[in-house]
Every structure is written in structure tokens, then in C-alpha cells.
């Protein structure tokens, strides 16, 4: 009797092991069939006012016998204005394929100096796959999001530069102008007409930082920064403002800060 009981118990354990193994294989296969991935984040540079069309793809780890169509949902974390993009309602992975393709239209308006984001999510999908082994459910639950990093780029022949101004405790006193070689004003800030009104009226607080990007043609320029009170960007020994005008690679074209009096000017050349 003892031998029979031992044999029966051993057969029972073998049955359980086979059953669990089959369950694991089924779960693994289901998990593989469920997986849908997306491309890496795309960096999209757009000339101001122009529109570009970006092709994007999603990928399934397995092909199935049915079309798999996912809704494309604009994620709340997006910062690119809704009027400046067109996203299709859905994307389909055709039956027998592992890849779905769609196109997004992006327009270069209202792009922040730090760049904008368009983030898309994919809806979940339920369906039925007819295969040689029978009918199997298909439940796809995409986890990753499709991200577009949108930045403004310059037209061919122009160079992008960035102006950064960190104010002292009197942003209302700061203004600036950029002149070309013929002393035409190319860009400016902190003025109302010819009067310095500074940056407090524009919503900047003490010690805030203002950043602006613009595109310049080859030539010689003069950057001038003004202080309406006449003591530069200086509040006291521990609080002082500063500014810099740079290429995007970090090369400095003009910089300064502290007590420079009523104004400070720097000439530079772009090749």
C-alpha cells in the first residue's frame, strides 16, 4: 500500500508540473501577443511658420489574423498648441503584420524657447485571433507613449542664438536692443516705444530669468543692455543680475552683469 500511495503521489506531482508548465507557456504566449511598442522619442525641428509631416510607427511582438486598430489619444502632458498639429484618430496594424504606420502634421507656431511637446497614448484593444490552433483572444495593452520633442530651427543660412537675462531685484529697469551693422534694430525687449518699461510689467519677478531665441544672418552685430536707474543689474553685494548671448553650442557672443551703469554694449560677428 505504501508503494502504491507513493506512486500515486508522484504521478499527481508530475501532472501538476505539466499543468503549471502549460499555464506558463500560455501566459507567456498571451503576454507576447499583448505587447505593442512605439518608436523612441522623435526630435522635430521646424522653421517658424512652416509645417512638417512626421511618419511614426508602432510595433507588435507577434502578427495575428485580424487588423488591430488603436485610437490615438493626445496626452494632457502635451504643450504644443492644438491648432498647430493634426493627429489621425487611429493607427492600424494590418492582419498578418507586426507594424502600424501613421503620420502627424506639425506647424512651427508658438514654440517655447525650451521647446514644445506632443505626447500620444494608444487605446487598449480587444479582439479575436483565428489561428491554425483555434480561436484565441487578443488583448493589447500598450504601455509606452509616443513623444515628439518640437523645437524651432532657423532657415538655411541663418544661425540660432539664445539670449538669457537673469534679473536683479529690479526687472522693471532692464531693457535691451540688438543692432545690425547698419544700426537697424534686429530685436529688442523691455521697451514700450522708446521708453524703458522693463520686464516686471511682462510678469517677471525679482531674480527671474528671461530667455529668447532668434535667427541671425552672417554679419556684424551690436548688443546693448540698458538699466533705467543707471546702476546696471546690481542690487547689493549678494544680489546681482547677469546676461549672456550665445550660440546653441555654448559659444559666448556677449555677456556681463553687475553694475555696468546706464548701458553696456558688445560687438560680435557671425560668419
Cell of 52: 512638417
Which pLDDT does position 5 carry in this prediction?
Answer: 53
Query: Looking at 107, 131, 153, which one is the last position of a domain?
Result: 153
Segments in the chain forming alpha helices (H): 2-34
CA atoms within 13 A on the CB side of 102: 23
Kindly report the number of other CB atoms within 10 A of residue 253's CB atom: 19
Same domain, 176 and 86: no
- Which pTM was predicted? 0.75
Same domain, 213 and 261: yes
Which pLDDT does position 13 carry in this prediction?
Answer: 44
Same domain, 187 and 135: no
**Can you tell me the distance from the alpha carbon of 100 to that of 91, in angstroms, rounded to the nearest whole number?**
6
Residue 25 lies in a domain: no
- Average pLDDT per 10 consecutive residues for the chain, totaling 271 residues: 50 45 42 74 96 96 87 96 97 94 97 95 72 60 90 96 98 98 97 96 97 96 98 96 96 98 98 95
Same domain, 219 and 167: yes
Same domain, 143 and 163: no
Which pLDDT does position 66 carry in this prediction?
Answer: 86
Query: Looking at 134, 153, 172, which one is the last position of a domain?
Result: 153
Same domain, 68 and 115: yes
Residue 237 DSSP label: S
Residue 29 lies in a domain: no
Contact 178, 187 (CB under 8 A): yes
Residue 228 lies in a domain: yes
Into how many domains does the chain fold? 2
Residue 257 lies in a domain: yes
Q: Which H or E element spans position 215?
A: strand 209-216
**CA distances from residue 232 to 63, 176, 252, 262 in whole angstroms, order as listed:** 67, 12, 20, 6
Residue 175 lies in a domain: yes
**Can you tell me the distance from the alpha carbon of 168 to that of 172, in angstroms, rounded to the nearest whole number?**
10
Residue 9 lies in a domain: no
Residue 263 lies in a domain: yes
Which pLDDT does position 263 carry in this prediction?
Answer: 98
CATH classification of the domain holding 75: 2.60.40.10
CATH classification of the domain holding 257: 2.60.40
Q: Which domain holds residue 40?
A: 36-153
Same domain, 263 and 164: yes
Query: Looking at 132, 153, 174, which one is the last position of a domain?
Result: 153
**Can you tell me the distance from the alpha carbon of 224 to that of 4, in angstroms, rounded to the nearest whole number?**
99
Same domain, 138 and 186: no
Same domain, 75 and 125: yes
Closest CA to 197 of 169, 175, 220: 175
Same domain, 68 and 116: yes
Same domain, 149 and 189: no
Same domain, 244 and 209: yes
**Can you tell me the distance from the alpha carbon of 90 to that of 100, in angstroms, rounded to the nearest whole number?**
10
Residue 31 lies in a domain: no
Which pLDDT does position 159 carry in this prediction?
Answer: 97
Distance of CA 168 to the CA centre of its chain: 30
Amino acid at each position: 500500500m505504501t508503494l502504491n500511495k507513493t506512486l500515486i503521489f508522484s504521478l499527481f506531482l508530475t501532472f501538476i508540473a505539466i499543468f503549471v508548465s502549460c499555464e506558463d507557456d500560455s501566459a507567456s504566449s498571451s503576454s507576447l501577443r499583448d505587447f505593442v511598442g512605439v518608436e523612441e522619442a522623435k526630435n522635430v525641428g521646424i522653421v517658424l511658420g512652416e509645417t512638417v509631416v512626421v511618419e511614426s510607427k508602432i510595433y507588435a511582438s507577434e502578427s495575428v489574423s485580424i487588423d488591430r486598430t488603436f485610437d490615438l489619444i493626445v496626452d494632457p502632458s502635451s504643450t504644443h498648441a492644438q491648432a498647430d498639429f493634426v493627429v489621425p484618430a487611429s493607427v492600424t496594424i494590418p492582419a498578418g503584420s507586426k507594424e502600424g504606420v501613421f503620420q502627424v502634421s506639425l506647424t512651427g507656431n508658438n514654440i517655447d524657447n525650451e521647446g514644445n511637446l506632443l505626447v500620444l497614448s494608444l487605446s487598449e484593444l480587444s479582439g479575436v485571433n483565428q489561428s491554425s490552433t483555434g480561436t484565441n483572444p487578443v488583448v493589447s495593452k500598450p504601455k509606452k507613449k509616443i513623444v515628439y520633442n518640437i523645437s524651432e530651427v532657423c532657415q538655411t543660412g541663418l544661425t540660432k542664438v539664445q539670449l538669457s537675462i537673469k534679473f536683479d531685484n529690479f526687472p522693471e529697469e532692464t531693457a535691451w536692443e540688438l543692432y545690425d551693422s547698419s544700426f537697424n534694430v534686429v530685436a529688442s525687449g523691455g521697451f514700450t516705444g522708446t521708453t524703458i518699461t522693463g520686464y516686471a510689467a511682462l510678469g517677471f519677478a525679482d531674480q527671474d530669468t528671461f530667455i529668447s531665441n532668434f535667427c541671425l544672418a552672417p554679419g556684424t552685430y551690436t548688443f546693448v543692455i540698458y538699466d533705467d536707474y543707471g546702476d546696471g543689474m546690481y542690487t547689493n553685494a549678494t544680489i546681482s543680475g547677469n546676461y549672456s548671448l550665445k550660440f546653441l553650442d555654448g559659444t559666448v557672443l556677449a555677456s556681463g552683469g553687475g553694475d555696468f551703469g546706464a548701458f553696456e554694449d558688445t560687438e560680435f560677428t557671425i560668419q
